[in-house]
Amino acid sequence: MKQIPGTRIRTGLAVTLLLAFATAHAQEQTIKLPAYDADIHKTSVSGLSSGAFMTSQLYMVFSDIMMGAGIVAGGPYLCAKSWAANTLVQNATTTCMNPLTASTGPNTPVLVKHAALLADYGYIDPLKNLQDDRIYIFSGSRDKTVTTTVVNQTREFFKSVGVPEASIQYNKSIAAGHAFVTDNDTDAACALTQPPYINDCDFEQSATILNHIYPGLKPPAAQLGSAVIAFDQSEFIDSAYTSMSDTAYAYVPAACQNGKSCPIHVVFHGCKQGAQVIGDKYYAQTGYNRMAEANDLIMLYPQVQPSTTTPLNPEGCWDFWGYSSPGNPNPDYYTRNAPQLRAIHKMITRLAEPRS
């Protein structure tokens, strides 16, 4: 076959860069996640896209320790159970993303009933815990991946399960694509939907989320005083099918390392945004850590990665339809027994343990 001029050079460069990236990750020094005596009852969570669905799951399941949540481009808790005539994956990829009409979108009344039953039987924490919490919701008006029709039902769900309407901040006025939003002019243009799904829309979404959940925070620090921690996430995983990475990340300000009992904020990346795909772009460059530095908050960044075998998770999404229980016709991805949720709760618990 005729060689296209320059192809061999470009291919060689691509392979070199890929090997360099892989080598850097292979050489990354990980530690056992330390205990910091964190204030577990001031925990909160936020995320984008599949990370937003995961945010709702972690928040609803463990609401006893939660103060609030930030959902960016995500549907309501249990969304993939909206319509019994569809499979879970059909609901996840249509109903919960870009339904043809509002009537084929999330079935919120059914989801609220499911949530109430799960709480009654102890599979998730009691719904009464939500009455004093604060929820931030965002839908970009240019987002065609998870549309505003879907995100509207996230707001309706939280109102229906007891979050006061005055405690819900819902922003759908920004012409953003499907992305997490920053105030960094080196990120993609606001209206685009393209990897790594981090867009400059002239405001720092991380600061907005944290300010809503924890009112009265200081502005973000100009620089960080500590390094991001790479820790052994595999220690917390007790299933072979989670699609979770061996390594995850945390940012712990010096005050939280040296005696102060700090709140924990869990941050979920979206599909195609794990560290194995985009490096430190999400866990180090979306503004969360500068807010953590200024306000003595611990940031926890669990990681999931693509998997093309079993479990089938080719885009590296968090599980909101059941892939982490392959072969199970009734997979549990949404209660305290769910594989991914179990692992993340163990990480939160570790951070809250007394310092050794």
Residues assigned a catalytic role: 49, 143, 178
Peptide bond into 219 cis (omega under 30): no
Q: Closest Cα partner for 180 from 55, 59, 83? A: 55
Q: Other CB atoms closer than 10 Å to residue 290's CB: what's the count? A: 19
Could you give the CA distance from residue 28 to residue 168 in angstroms, rounded to a whole number?
40
Pair 253, 296: CB distance under 8 Å = yes
Burial class (CB in 10 A: 0-12, 13-18, 19+), 30: middle
Could you give the CA distance from residue 156 to residue 145 in angstroms, rounded to a whole number?
20
Q: Other CB atoms closer than 10 Å to residue 245's CB: what's the count? A: 19
Tokens in use for 168? 């819900």
155-188: b or e for each residue (b if 16 or more CB lie within 10 Å)? bebbbbbbbeeebbbbbeebebbbbbbbebeebb
Residue 7, CA atoms < 13 Å, CB-side half-sphere? 5
What is the C-alpha end-to-end distance of the chain, expressed in Å? 63
Q: Closest Cα partner for 266 from 218, 293, 299, 305? A: 299
| 134-138, strands of its sheet edge to edge | 168-171, 134-138, 66-72, 43-48, 264-268, 298-301, 247-251, 229-232
